[in-house]
């Protein structure tokens, strides 16, 4: 009986010490992001954390981040964060967080958090070399958080898909775009889709509006800070759409003024070429983006022009929508450009050219919001301006 009591007391003592030890340990939550891209405009993580071969834009690296939050009631001091890269696959730590240290063979880094108050969150960003792969696989990072005496309070294995660049979706987009353009121009040449050939003045106007798009984005938006100003508006996605007001208005206005299939694509090619020449650097692969966002609008123009010509008995050579349909037509023109521009950007051009995928939430919210706002800009701003401009421009 005495032995039973002693054993029971001993068990209670051990359990009490264990509970005390657990309660005495710092309470933290840890989030690991690699690749990491937080967009302050959308206030969202905009990367799906799929690692694409050779890293961001094929430059051989990605940035990652570890977020650590003190979920306890007491401050914690001298926490040590360690991140281990999958060195067996060729990954190496290039740059640790500021104040951190890269370990032997660059397979890991350690970073000390001197103090973290209750409820506070800190993040540690690092740069990791990403090798090339020709096959899809899963790679594993290891994240460890220790106290100053070396006690491990958090440990996890973070698995990430590691895949080749999605060349096939880019190639398929290229082939489909070229085929659509060829079919459209063939039908126009045969009179199946209404459209007149470009005259010199049409080319001049298209070039002017293409350059105006450049001025809006590169000078007004970026150099003069209009985009930075709208990004401060505390409504994610809407703030970005508000920054598109000038681009959408200029684009729709140019299309309405010239109104010949091909104007939308050509306008974007002018914008892309000038932007690359003076700001981005020349990259012919991005020219396909001009086609993808321009062709849907040009096909719409061909179809509507054909319908208007048939309604007029095919005798009138220049017909423009009027009345309420004029506003609807301008709204559709603006919406089509935005819809195809951002869907293709997220699912084709960002993955293939920038080497990262975007979260479904961001794709849906951004594309929907900016499409709706572009439709509004087309109807409310571009169309009334066009009614004035058509009386002034020959």
- Residue with the two structure tokens 């509006």: 209
Judgement on whether residues 204 and 256 belong to the same structural domain of the protein: yes
Whether 9 is covered by a domain: the verdict is no
Judgement on whether residues 322 and 347 belong to the same structural domain of the protein: yes
Judgement on whether residues 134 and 208 belong to the same structural domain of the protein: no
What six digits make up the tokens of 329? 């037509």
* Last residue of one domain, picked from the residues 118, 134, 163: 163
Whether 178 is covered by a domain: the verdict is yes
User: What does the alpha-carbon distance between residue 225 and residue 109 come to, in Å, rounded to a whole number?
Assistant: 37
> What radius of gyration, in Å, describes the C-alpha atoms of the chain?
29
Q: Is 372 exposed, middle or buried (0-12, 13-18, 19+ CB in 10 A)?
A: middle
Question: Which three-class secondary structure string do you get for 43-69?
Answer: CEECCCCCEECCEHHHCCEEEEEEEEE
User: What does the alpha-carbon distance between residue 162 and residue 174 come to, in Å, rounded to a whole number?
Assistant: 25
- Predicted local confidence at residue 116, as pLDDT: 95
Residue 59, C-beta contacts closer than 8 angstroms, at least 6 positions apart: none
Neighbours of 384 (CB within 10 A): 14
Residues 348, 37 contacting (CB under 8 angstroms) = no
Judgement on whether residues 146 and 188 belong to the same structural domain of the protein: no
Q: What is the pLDDT of residues 251-288, one digit of tens each?
A: 999 999 999 999 999 999 999 999 999 999 999 999 99
* Last residue of one domain, picked from the residues 136, 163, 190: 163
- Predicted local confidence at residue 11, as pLDDT: 57
Whether 253 is covered by a domain: the verdict is yes
Q: Which of 138, 41, 56, 47 has the alpha carbon at shortest distance from 94? A: 56
Judgement on whether residues 342 and 203 belong to the same structural domain of the protein: yes
Judgement on whether residues 189 and 244 belong to the same structural domain of the protein: yes
> What is the CATH classification number for the domain harbouring 101?
2.60.40.1530
Whether 17 is covered by a domain: the verdict is no
- Predicted local confidence at residue 20, as pLDDT: 43
Neighbours of 19 (CB within 10 A): 10
Whether 159 is covered by a domain: the verdict is yes
Judgement on whether residues 149 and 174 belong to the same structural domain of the protein: no
For the full predicted model, state whether its pTM sits above 0.85. Answer: yes
Judgement on whether residues 224 and 260 belong to the same structural domain of the protein: yes
What six digits make up the tokens of 210? 């293409």
Neighbours of 182 (CB within 10 A): 10
User: What does the alpha-carbon distance between residue 60 and residue 35 come to, in Å, rounded to a whole number?
Assistant: 12
Judgement on whether residues 371 and 236 belong to the same structural domain of the protein: yes
Whether 338 is covered by a domain: the verdict is yes
Judgement on whether residues 338 and 245 belong to the same structural domain of the protein: yes
Whether 337 is covered by a domain: the verdict is yes
Judgement on whether residues 274 and 213 belong to the same structural domain of the protein: yes
Domain range for residue 127?
Answer: 27-163
Cα angle for residues 272, 273, 279 (degrees, 5° grid): 80
Whether 251 is covered by a domain: the verdict is yes
pLDDT along the chain (394 residues), means of 10: 56 50 72 94 91 96 97 93 96 97 95 96 97 97 95 97 95 93 82 73 95 98 96 94 97 95 95 96 94 95 85 65 93 98 97 95 96 98 95 82
* Last residue of one domain, picked from the residues 103, 134, 163: 163
Omega cis (within 30) before 319: no
What six digits make up the tokens of 284? 């012919």
- Residue with the two structure tokens 């460890």: 144
- Strands 76-84 and 137-146, by their bridges, are antiparallel
Judgement on whether residues 293 and 202 belong to the same structural domain of the protein: yes
Total number of domains constituting the chain: 2
């Amino acid at each position: 009986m005495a032995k039973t009591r002693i054993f029971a007391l001993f068990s209670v003592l051990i359990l009490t010490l264990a509970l005390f030890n657990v309660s005495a340990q710092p309470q933290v939550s840890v989030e690991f992001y690699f690749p990491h891209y937080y967009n302050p405009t959308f206030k969202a993580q905009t990367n799906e954390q799929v690692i694409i071969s050779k890293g961001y834009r094929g430059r051989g690296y990605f940035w990652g981040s570890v977020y650590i939050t003190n979920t306890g009631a007491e401050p914690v001091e001298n926490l040590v964060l360690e991140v281990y890269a999958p060195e067996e696959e060729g990954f190496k730590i290039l740059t640790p967080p500021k104040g951190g240290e890269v370990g032997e063979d660059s397979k890991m880094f350690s970073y000390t958090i001197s103090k973290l108050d209750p409820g506070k969150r800190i993040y540690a960003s690092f740069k990791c070399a990403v090798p090339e792969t020709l096959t899809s696989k899963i790679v594993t990072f290891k994240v460890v958080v220790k106290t100053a005496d070396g006690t491990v309070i958090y440990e996890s294995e973070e698995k990430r898909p590691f895949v080749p660049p999605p060349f096939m979706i880019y190639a398929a987009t290229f082939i489909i775009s070229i085929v659509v353009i060829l079919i459209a121009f063939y039908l126009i040449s045969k009179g199946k889709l209404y459209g007149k050939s470009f005259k010199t003045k049409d080319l001049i106007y298209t070039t002017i509006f293409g350059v105006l798009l450049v001025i809006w984005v590169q000078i007004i938006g970026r150099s003069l800070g209009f985009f930075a100003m709208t990004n401060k508006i505390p409504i994610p996605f809407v703030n970005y759409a508000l920054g598109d007001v000038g681009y959408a208005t200029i684009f729709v206005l140019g299309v309405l003024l010239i109104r010949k299939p091909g104007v939308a694509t050509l306008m974007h090619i002018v914008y892309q070429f000038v932007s690359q020449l003076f700001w981005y650097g020349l990259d012919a692969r991005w020219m396909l983006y001009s086609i993808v966002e321009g062709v849907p609008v040009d096909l719409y123009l061909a179809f509507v022009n054909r319908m208007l010509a048939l309604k007029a008995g095919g005798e009138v050579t220049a017909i423009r929508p009027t009345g309420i349909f004029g506003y609807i037509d301008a709204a559709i023109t603006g919406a089509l450009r935005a819809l195809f521009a951002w869907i293709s950007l997220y699912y084709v051009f960002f993955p293939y050219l920038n080497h990262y995928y975007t979260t479904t939430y961001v794709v849906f919210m951004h594309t929907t919001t900016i499409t709706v706002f572009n439709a509004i800009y087309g109807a409310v701003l571009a169309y009334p301006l066009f009614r004035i401009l058509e009386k002034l421009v020959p």
